[in-house]
């Protein structure tokens, strides 16, 4: 009698932030804040359940910034250096001038996540700060330093992951509720520095112990299919206007992000990644073959991309596996279950954790029972969904790990496990271009504002190409400008303040690139181009003096 094949479940958590540093200074604080919450918690969940297995994917630009954030926080203790990040510096003393109001605005609940209002002391402080901001400059100047220092301290306490709140340095501050001394605030900064400093070593230990497979995205998270060919956006979407010319030297730029990203990954984790989660799960046949040519073993994307690719060949997606081999290559292609992944991202936040785990496991069981599949992939953002869970997702994630680890038939696995046990025999002749957003690329191209962002970037790229010997700093600045986030936000219905922040930051990156090339930035970069900016400003964009007109 032959035993039934294993029913493998791969969980992939993707960690990414764009380049927030301009001239080396963070314009937005999301790396160090997510480091205290999402990144620390996801490592803690794995550590708490030894039987758990998962794939954790990092964009190298995030890895760079985690290292820099740790150095920024740690520098105060090792060299007496004031942190460059305004929120961290705000733990040491209260700023004056325009920085005071910017810091008060940056600590508001809208920027702390939905769960922030459960802390009464923080809510009260944020409320008094909001009142002062509404009254104007005189009220902001008169806002007591002691309250502002408490507000910044509480903002960081709110951002701490559930595990970190049990640290004695945090627990005592939470119990005290306010009136924090300089020594206590320095202790909080030390906790932040220690947490950020140990983040990557924790994941490295989990990988060494075989509990996590670490993978990467291209360095600065560019849209590889669009760098290669804007027309790929038409493969799985209605005809839509595209930028007028191809991205200059796009193939080499895409290759650079893969090769340099892998070098960064190896330097920080001490091993070569076998897999690549393409930025935004955005793939095309040309992109996949470029990744394959560089020696990666696997990529992963969305089942909506798989459906379009199968339809392209007249094949039905019903009953198809989640693992294929790209024709004429050894590259293994995995495709996530979109519906199950989105249930974690958007649905289960409103459920009791035990009920959510039971529902997900039951759906997994039915999926396997109704097909010949031996693998189901669940892949999603590993940092943002938990802000909407009542306990930052700790009960759900750990409950899911424990339930799947103890299940008699379902087996937690990594992509490396799947390749090692049974490489895909099903062949995919051609991969239709698409992403995790409806299987299309239109989130990043097609709208007039998105196309304008590409034109602004291509103008800067042509200036870069004309430079006889761009500096390493200019090369990094160009790479930062090629990230996907700058094209996500324009022409959307997202929160206006977020669109404003990313519009401002993209233009700041472009201005820095021109300056590093010895050129005067064009005047068009002095003006916002995202329409939502006309009605609402940014809370965090004013935290540092602009590198030029905003």
**Distance, CA of 69 to CA of 193 (rounded, Å):** 8
Q: Is the pLDDT of residue 544 over 70?
A: no
Query: Number of H helices and number of E strands within the chain?
Result: 22, 12
Least confident of 273-282, 410-419, 523-532: 523-532
Across residues 519-528, what is the average pLDDT?
97
Q: What is the pLDDT of residue 2?
A: 52
Q: What is the pLDDT of residue 421?
A: 83
Q: Is the pLDDT of residue 246 over 60?
A: yes
Q: What are phi and psi of 103, to 5 degrees?
A: -70, -40
- Confidence class for position 42, pLDDT limits 50, 70, 90: very high
- Confidence class for position 3, pLDDT limits 50, 70, 90: low
Give me the sign of the Cα torsion angle 27, 32, 33, 39.
positive
Closest to 63 in 3D by CA, of 159, 201, 157, 161: 201
Centre a 10 Å sphere on the Cβ of residue 149 and count the other Cβ atoms it contains.
Answer: 22
Give me the sign of the Cα torsion angle 205, 206, 212, 217.
negative
Rounded mean pLDDT of the chain? 93
For tokens 């958007």, the residue is: 346
Q: Is the pLDDT of residue 289 over 70?
A: yes
Across residues 326-338, what is the average pLDDT?
97
HSE on the CB side for 444, CA within 13 Å? 29
State the pTM of this model: 0.95
**Distance, CA of 431 to CA of 297 (rounded, Å):** 16
Across residues 489-507, what is the average pLDDT?
90
Higher pLDDT among residues 317 and 121, named by residue: 121
Residue 394: partners with Cβ closer than 8 Å, 6 or more residues away: 41, 45, 162, 163
Question: C-alpha 48: how far from its chain's center?
Answer: 23
- Confidence class for position 269, pLDDT limits 50, 70, 90: very high
Q: Is the pLDDT of residue 540 over 90?
A: no
Q: What is the pLDDT of residue 530?
A: 80
């Amino acid at each position: 009698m032959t035993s039934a094949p294993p029913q493998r479940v791969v969980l992939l958590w993707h960690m990414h932030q764009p380049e927030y540093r301009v001239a080396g200074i963070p314009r937005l604080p999301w790396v160090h804040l997510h480091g205290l919450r999402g990144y620390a918690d996801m490592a803690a969940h794995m550590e708490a359940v030894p039987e758990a297995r998962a794939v954790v994917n990092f964009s190298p630009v995030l890895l760079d910034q985690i290292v820099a954030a740790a150095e920024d926080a740690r520098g105060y203790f090792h060299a007496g250096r004031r942190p460059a990040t305004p929120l961290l510096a705000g733990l040491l003393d209260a700023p004056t001038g325009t920085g005071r109001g910017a810091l008060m605005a940056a600590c508001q609940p809208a920027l702390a996540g939905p769960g922030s209002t459960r802390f009464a002391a923080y809510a009260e402080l944020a409320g008094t700060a909001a009142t002062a901001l509404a009254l104007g400059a005189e009220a902001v100047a008169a806002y007591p330093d002691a309250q502002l220092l408490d507000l910044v301290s509480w903002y960081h306490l709110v951002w701490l992951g559930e595990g970190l709140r049990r640290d004695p340095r945090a627990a005592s501050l939470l119990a005290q509720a306010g009136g924090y001394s300089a020594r206590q605030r320095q202790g909080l900064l030390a906790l932040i520095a220690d947490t950020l400093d140990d983040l990557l070593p924790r994941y490295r230990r989990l990988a060494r112990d075989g509990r996590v497979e670490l993978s990467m995205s291209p360095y600065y998270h560019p849209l590889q299919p669009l760098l290669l060919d804007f027309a790929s956006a038409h493969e799985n979407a209605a005809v839509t206007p595209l930028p007028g010319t191809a991205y200059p030297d796009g193939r080499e730029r895409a290759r650079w992000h893969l090769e340099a990203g892998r070098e960064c990954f190896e330097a920080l984790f001490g091993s070569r990644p076998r897999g690549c989660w393409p930025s935004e799960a955005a793939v095309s046949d040309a992109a996949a073959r470029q990744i394959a040519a560089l020696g990666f073993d696997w990529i992963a994307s969305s089942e909506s991309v798989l459906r379009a690719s199968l339809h392209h060949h007249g094949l039905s997606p019903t009953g198809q596996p989640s693992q294929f081999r790209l024709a004429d290559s050894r590259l293994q292609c995995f495709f996530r279950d979109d519906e199950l992944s989105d249930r974690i991202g958007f649905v289960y936040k409103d459920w009791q954790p035990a009920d959510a785990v039971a529902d997900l496991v039951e759906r997994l069981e039915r999926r396997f029972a109704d097909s010949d599949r031996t693998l189901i992939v669940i892949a999603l953002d590993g940092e943002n969904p938990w802000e909407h869970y009542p306990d930052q997702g700790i009960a759900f994630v750990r409950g899911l790990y424990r339930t799947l680890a103890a299940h008699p038939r379902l087996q937690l696995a990594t992509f490396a496990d799947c390749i090692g046990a049974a490489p895909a025999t099903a062949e995919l002749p051609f991969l239709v271009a698409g992403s995790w957003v409806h299987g299309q690329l239109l989130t990043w191209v097609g709208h007039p504002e998105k196309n304008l962002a590409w034109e602004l970037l291509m103008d800067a790229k042509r200036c870069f190409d004309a430079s006889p010997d761009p500096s390493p700093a200019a090369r990094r600045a160009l790479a930062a400008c090629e990230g996907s986030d700058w094209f996500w936000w324009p022409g959307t219905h997202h929160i206006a303040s977020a669109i404003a922040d990313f519009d401002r930051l993209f233009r700041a990156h472009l201005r820095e690139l021109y300056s590093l090339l010895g050129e005067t930035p064009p005047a068009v970069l002095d003006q916002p181009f995202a329409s939502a900016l006309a009605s609402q400003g940014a809370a965090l964009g004013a935290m540092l003096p602009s590198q030029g007109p905003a």
